[in-house]
Every structure is written in C-alpha cells, then in structure tokens.
Structure 1
C-alpha cells in the first residue's frame, strides 16, 4: 500500500471515529454555562473535536502561538477534555507552588496504561503512600549527594570511555553522532550504578536500537491520541498507540526481568547479600518489606529510571553542542574558561563544575531554549482552583508550557537568542524555585533525578569541548545548521548532530 493510500485509509478511519463520537456524545452537550463562564479565555472550539486541529505536529509551538492571542492562562477543549495551558512564569508558580496540592495528580494518557504502568510508575501514580515511598528510595538510595559522591568514579570512567571513542573518531576523521554517543554514556552510567554492567557495549547497532526503543516510548506517550480525547474510543485504540506502546514496554520489562532473575539466582548461590549496587538495595528492601517493594514495583521503577534518565540527558547534551557550534563565539568562551580553570590537557572532574560559571550558564541557557520536556507532564485538578480570577475546573488537564515560558519576552531579553551571559551573576536556577526556568518541573512532582543529570551534563559537555575542537560535516557552515526540533515527551533535534572531533 502506497504512502498516499495509507494516509487516505487513516483519514477514513479517523472520520468514521469522529462520526461515531458525534453520535455517542451529542446527548452529553453541556446545558449550563455557569462554570464555563469562569474558564480562562481560549480559541473557540469546533463542535465535537474542539481545538484538536490547532495542536499540530509541534504542540509546544502551536500552544505558545495561541497563548500570545489568548493570554498566559488559556483554556482549550481537546475532544471531551477541558485543558488549561500555562505559558508564563507567574501563572506557573500558582500551579506548581501555590496550588500544588490540588494540581499535583496526573492526567493519564491511554498509552501509559499498558502493563498497569499507571499503578506503579513514579512519574504517573497519584500522590500517595506508594508515591512517597518510591520518592524516598530514589532520593535516599540513588540520587542523594552521599551516593553520587560514592559513585563518582563510575561517571569519570564512563566519560573517559566517551572521550577515548571520540578521540579514535578524530584520528580517522569520522563524524560523531553526539546524541547516540551521549546516550551510550548515560545508559552505561545508569546500568553500572543499578546493575554493575554496561547495557550498551561496543556494538553501536545495539546502542542505536536501545535509543530508538526509548525514543519510541517517549513518542507514543506524547502522540495526540483520540482515545485520550474521546474516552469511548479507549477499547478501540484507533491509532494503535496503546498496541505499539505495549510492544515497546514488553521489550524493556523483559530485559529488566531477566537481569533481576539472574541477580536473584546469584544472591541464592553466594549465600551472602551485599548492597553493592541499586538493584541489590531494591531486592533487600523487597525481602524486608514486600508490601512496599515487590518485583513488579522494581520492574516499573527501573523502566522509569532508564526511560527518563537516558533520553533526556543525551538530548540536552546534543542541544548544548548544537547551540555551541551554531554560536562559535560562545564555544570559544567556554573553551577559554575550561583552559584557564582546569589547564590545557588536564581532565575535567566533577569538583571543577563549581569553578566554571560560564559552562553552568551554557547548560542553563540550553534548558531555557530547549527544555527537555517542553510541556512537562500533564497535571489534573482534584478540585476547582481559582487562579487570576479564572477557574480551573475539577478534572481538567493542566499543561505547563515550559518551552513558551523559556522564550517569554517579558522574562527574557532577546528571548530567542542563545546568550549564556544572561545567567552570569544571576540567581536564577532550574531547581524549581525560579519559575521562568523549569525544565525539571517544580513542586512535589519535580524530577528526582535532577542531581545526577546536573553532574553528568556538565561533566560530559565540559570534557567534550575541553578535549577537542569540532567541525561540521561536509563543509556545512555554522549559520546554516538545521536547528529544528521534533516533539515527544522529550524535545530532540529533528536531524541528529554529526560533527568531526579534532584532538587537541
């Protein structure tokens, strides 16, 4: 079947679905406008489908454009789902801090519900005893400073392996796929911390396949899904999103299930149990408190850690490198700072990060322009919440457009320009207290992996620009670089960044 025929077939299916929805929902049209009169302003919805057609392929950009016309707190009707979109730092503070208690639960996309993920995933389960327990384990046993300090040698080793492979490419004039190289490094860092093994070895095809697998999970979770907008379609799965997500999830959970079973057998054979890595810690907790931590919970927690912790870090590093190559003067300033602070030829270590304010500014500016989760994760109102005189009604979905907030001209001078200098001497940080820069979210739902991501990002980026000069492939000029993005739960470069390293 040709691509054109496939598109025609899909269009017919979608129209049939919409006709069915029209029949099913006609009798449910609201008869009272009492609550709706207090909704934030927004574009006029079409009958039945609402504002779905206005989302486009890149919702972070289309919603930002709509907000310029309708305001920083805006309402849309996405099928049957009332959605409130936040596009300014002041309103984001109301959502993520002032009213965090009532707006901290999640709207669960249908794609997330495969393998009961919504009941076990730290990212999606409601604020509850289980959620608090999982957060406590992650914060205390994986991302605490004492744990990160103890594991510094692992990160240093993995970054040195990255530099060695990059150096080899430099000797042969081969271009480096920055996103794939960063993904491999981050994946192996996590897998060594959790399992004491490399998940991505020298086989680049395996690394690419794992990267593609995790990207597909992110893509399916973010894909506009008719089953989310019209609940009567959940059983039909008209776009096949849940089916595809189930396939990706089955592969990931199967991989981790095999590793857990191997470890359980090893623990039985050895006769002694030591907390040598994170998996041992989880299994130890499971043996002591099986009601809090069983194998299913462990599997879903590992899935969360690898899906959220690899693609996000590698995508941000790729954006940072792309912006530096696109802005050679900025790259030169970063290299000069590294040479002055560390010394030419000396390796960068984590303790150097605090002495590199310009490198820190580069990372912040990358987060501002290219937040790893452009719409964060969707929240849901537990009750009616009043903000700025408008009502966010109970059950409404709430989207915080971190991409739009990072480019808001009322908060940022030359908002669309890459200017790390804006952060020099500034108190603005990305730890959830400054709402004009919220790549990790805020409030109780802020990403627990932030401390590890910060160490890895600065160490990898600083090491790559300190050890090598870089040139674009095939004579491409920096001003001609393609800086377009592609949308999923994580925001990535539409075209992978491939650059040739020149060893210094």
Structure 2
C-alpha cells in the first residue's frame, strides 16, 4: 500500500514537472509576443550607435557598476565615442569624446536641452519646478533668467562677499585652536560646514547651529544621496516594488516631507519680516519673495522652494568637494604645495589674511584649482539630458525621448586631449587657454550650453579664498607620519565624486 502511494506520488511529480515547464514557457512566450505586438515596427533604415550585447529585461545595467564614469570609459573605447546602452527598457546615449560632445552641446544643444522625467526629482524638487531638473521650455527659461539676473549676477555675488570672508575666517580660527592639541583636523567635515554655512546665510539669512545644524546637514546629505542613488523601478517598471522593499521610496517620502517643513518655516519667517530688511541684507528668499510680490503670476511658492533648494544643492556640495580634493592633492604633492605657498606669501606679505581683493593676482592658485577640477570632476557624469526630437548625431539616428549622459570625467582624463592625464600637474594650464566655463569641451566640470551650471561665479571665490588662507597660515602633514603615497584617494558612490573617507591632516601654524 505504501509502495503504491509512493509510486502514485512519483507519477504525479513526473506529470507536474513538464506541466510547470510548459506554463513557464507559455508565460515567457506570451510576454515577448505581447511586447513584440506593442512595439513600434522596426525601422530598418535607422542607423543606431554601436551597442554592447544586452540582457533581457535588464539591458546593459550590469555593465555600469558602482562607478559608472569609470566603467563607461573602457566600454566607449571598445564601442565608440557615441554609444547606445539600455538601462532596462530605457535607451541611453553615452557621450565620450569632444567631437560627440560638440554635436550635442553646441550644434544640437537645443534638441538636447531638456531633462528626463525621473520620479526622485519630481518628489524632492517640487515636481521639477527648479532650474536643474526642469524640462526645457518657457518655465525653465523664466527660472534660469531669475537665477542668472537676480540671484547669481556679478553684483549680487559681490554683495555676499562679507559672508564668504567671515565664514572663512571662522574656519581658520577653528583650525588655529586645534593646533595646540596637535590632533588631526577633519578637513572634509570643516569644508562641508563652511559651504553649508555660507549657503545658509546667503539663501536663508541665517546659519543652523548646534543640533539644528547637524540635523539640517544630515537632511541635505540624504537629499544628495537620494538624488544620486539608483532607483531600479525608474528603468525596469515591473521591479518598482524593489524600491518599496529596500526602503528607497519610504526614505524619499520622509526626506521630502522633512525638507518641505524646513523650507516652509524659512519662507514663513521671511514673509513676516521682509519689510524690515534693507536691500544690502536681503538673501535669496527675500529676493524671490520680492519678485513674487511684484508679479504674483511669475513665481509661486513651490517655485521659490525649488529654486532655493537648487542653489543650496549646487553650491554647497560642489564647493566642499573641490576643496576636499584640492587639499588632498596638495598634501600628496609637496612641490605643488610649496609653489602655491610661495605665491600666497608673496602676494599676502604683511597681511593677516587673504581677501578676495588678492585673488586676481594668484595665477598659480587658479592653476591648482583647474587641475583639481580636471582630475576630480565634482559631477563625473553631467546631469542627464533628453532629446526632444529625432536627430542625427555623428551619422547615427537618435530618437526623441532618448536619455543622454556626458562623461565629463572621461573627457578630462582622455590621453587624446591631455598629456599624462592621471597625474596631478597644475603647470599643464600654463600658457593654456583651456578653461572650465563651457568653451572647451574636453574640460566641462560645470557642463556647457544652455544647461550649464550658472553658479560658477558664486562657488569660485569661496574655494579660492579658503584654499589661499589654508596654505598661507599652516603647514600640512598626514597624521601618524603616514606615507604620502598611501593617502587614501578612493571616491564615494553618488551624484558627486567626493572622497570616500574623510580627509584628516595635522595643521602646524606658519610664523609670520
């Protein structure tokens, strides 16, 4: 009896196995058949850019890795400077040469001036009402004009000079106080605090101190981490549930809610006190509320929130990242450090500190910053663009709605354009007209064309003043007599290429 039941069970399992196999095959067949029926007819005459083999459903996502700007370089070397990848179901063009960048950012800049619609930017940037993520059109042009003419004009940037110099002096004082203990200074943390405090004072009119300051910095770190994170549901819709399981959606919702609460309180406070401020003391929120008051149709409250957030994200993270890498490379290269100290000493002789008036004469300082921006591009992959119409680039057909990524990091290290590209060598810019303002496409840390970053004039004085005072007042060594060649230079994962670990160094005052 038992033997008979076991034989019966074996028979059922034997029948079940091919049945399951048949059902599975049917499901896969049905999926691909429906996909084939609903796909647009193949246009055999289309000439698409070269593309590596892709996996079903996932496309080429497995080829991207944790550091896309690095992994895309060998792929481009194999498949070409204009390469087609598929992130799940989304076609993505990768630009890896000056010639390709010129067609995208110069010849066809208008076609590629829009941004793809991403859920995370909608959630955190007020339905893309900012400048950085807004789709190209009349609204974006209006917001860009407000930024350039009202918030980041030369006159406005100069009006915040005292804020920048005061915050630099406060940071230098902190470092001086730490010298008596001979303990290492956490420069990464100090640079983040500096950039954060400057932007807070300029945008909101106040700094966040103590526990409030820590909470605010943590909140902004979460924003940057989410914006730079990978949302699998964005590119593979049927895996959108993964964002719920791993907590990505919950984190995004919580961060957006907390952020909105903070900015709401700031705007409410400004609206209560805006009539009592003089023009010279007005911050970004004051200026935007004034524009709104003069023309209520031009700017709603959510647009103000989005613009202020844009200024904060773009200004604070870039400045602190550049300072962090500049000091890393100066410590690693004593010859360059000494050359810069000699220049600062010569120009700042007899002065207690370097001010923005002294910066124009500091040519070597500018070379050091240029080389830092080249070797450590803050945003290695520029913000994604999206084509608004069908267009032909380098002989290839690019369909409307295609996402496009420009590997600025790869361009800045391409041996075709740079001698010894992996070396930190500021002198390469001597008698060299190549600059980072979007005119030379082998060097575009801030982008180029219509969607280039408008905040360069604001960020550079902070970076230059801070760096000049750091080398003027202190000698810098690694803690524990560590060897220079062993200094960790690993990058973090995210939207900006920060150091993966904080930079610690020992400051020794230079006698004057």
- Structure 1 length as normaliser, TM-score? 0.90
Partner SS for 2:433: coil
Larger Rg: 2
Partners of 2:313 and 2:30 lie apart in 1 by 39
Deviations 1:437-480 (A, max 9, x none): 10111111111111111111111111111111111122221110
CA drift at 1:118: 3.3
Give yes or no for the alignment of 1:247 onto 2:254.
Answer: yes
Which residue is equivalent to 1:401?
A: 407
Give yes or no for the alignment of 1:188 onto 2:194.
Answer: no
Which residue is equivalent to 1:90?
A: 99
CA drift at 1:249: 2.5
Deviations 1:205-258 (A, max 9, x none): 655544443233222222222111123455773544333222223222221211
CA drift at 1:286: 1.3
Residue range with higher mean Cα deviation, 33-42 or 308-317:
33-42
Partner SS for 1:493: coil
Q: How many residues align?
A: 482
Give yes or no for the alignment of 1:231 onto 2:258.
Answer: no
Give yes or no for the alignment of 1:156 onto 2:168.
Answer: no
Asked if the contact 2:115–2:384 (Cα under 8 Å) also holds between the matched residues in 1, the reply is: yes
Give yes or no for the alignment of 1:371 onto 2:377.
Answer: yes
Which residue is equivalent to 1:17?
A: none
TM alignment of 1:114-133, pairs within 5 A: 114=123, 117-133=126-142
Deviations 1:136-184 (A, max 9, x none): 2211222111112222111111111111111111222222222221121
Partner SS for 1:421: helix
Partner SS for 1:291: coil
Give yes or no for the alignment of 1:266 onto 2:311.
Answer: no
Partner SS for 2:310: helix
Partner SS for 2:404: strand
CA drift at 1:496: 0.9
Partners of 1:162 and 1:289 lie apart in 2 by 40
1:257 to 257, 261, 264: 264
1:218 to 207, 218, 224: 224
Which residue is equivalent to 1:77?
A: 86
Which residue is equivalent to 1:6?
A: none
Partners of 1:271 and 1:462 lie apart in 2 by 33
Which residue is equivalent to 2:354?
A: 348
CA drift at 1:295: 1.6
Give the 3 Å change call, closer, same or farther, for CA 26–227 of structure 1 in structure 2: farther
- The runs of at least 4 consecutive aligned structure 1 residues that moved more than 3 Å come to 20-26, 29-33, 205-212, 231-240, 270-275
Partner SS for 2:243: coil
Deviations 1:23-43 (A, max 9, x none): 766622457543685111121
Partner SS for 1:180: helix
Asked if the contact 2:203–2:312 (Cα under 8 Å) also holds between the matched residues in 1, the reply is: no
Give yes or no for the alignment of 1:360 onto 2:366.
Answer: yes
Asked if the contact 1:218–1:489 (Cα under 8 Å) also holds between the matched residues in 2, the reply is: yes
Partners of 2:175 and 2:45 lie apart in 1 by 57
1:320 to 323, 326, 341: 326
TM alignment of 1:321-340, pairs within 5 A: 321-340=327-346
Give yes or no for the alignment of 1:176 onto 2:185.
Answer: yes
TM alignment of 1:132-143, pairs within 5 A: 132-143=141-152
Asked if the contact 2:57–2:236 (Cα under 8 Å) also holds between the matched residues in 1, the reply is: no
Deviations 1:82-129 (A, max 9, x none): 010011122112111111100010113222121662331211111222
Residue range with higher mean Cα deviation, 298-307 or 345-354:
345-354
Asked if the contact 2:116–2:135 (Cα under 8 Å) also holds between the matched residues in 1, the reply is: no
- Structure 2 length as normaliser, TM-score? 0.89
Partner SS for 1:38: coil
2:429 to 416, 423, 426: 423
Residue range with higher mean Cα deviation, 371-380 or 457-466:
457-466
Give the 3 Å change call, closer, same or farther, for CA 389–62 of structure 1 in structure 2: same
Which residue is equivalent to 1:38?
A: 47
Partners of 2:57 and 2:426 lie apart in 1 by 45
